[in-house]
Amino acid sequence: MTYTDLTFKQFCDLRSEFVDFKLKDMTNEELICLLKKFMINEVENLGQQDLKDRIDEYDEFLYNILVSYVKDEDNSYEVLQEFFDERHADDWVNDY
């Protein structure tokens, strides 16, 4: 098949179908990598205060925990893991 002239709607549908196909064809690892790149891109140009504000919007306690972790302070890894576990402690409730 060669190039085909499409209406604008058909062209939009073709793009959407192509993206759907590529996503379905990806492994979980590839999807995570793609999503991480997208999310890094969202915050890449933020200054420190804007990034802090964005993190605070997500969770008011997370900024201090992450700062401690990236500074490699004592027990920061354990604190981060505990925080993550607490956020997801009730996930099983939503499975029913």
Tell me the pLDDT tens digit for each residue of 15-69. 999 999 999 999 999 999 999 999 999 999 999 999 999 999 999 999 999 999 9
DSSP character at residue 91: G
15 and 50 both lie in a single domain: no
Q: What is the total count of domains within the chain?
A: 2
How many residues are recorded in the chain?
96
24 and 41 both lie in a single domain: yes
**Measured distance CA(39)–CA(56) in Å, rounded:** 16
67 and 37 both lie in a single domain: no
Q: Indicate whether this model's pTM tops 0.85.
A: no
Q: Residue 1 is part of which domain span?
A: 1-45
31 and 52 both lie in a single domain: no
58 and 85 both lie in a single domain: yes
Per-residue tokens: 15: 């793009």
pLDDT at 91: 72
94 and 53 both lie in a single domain: yes
Residue 13: count of CB within 10 angstroms of its CB: 12
32 and 73 both lie in a single domain: no
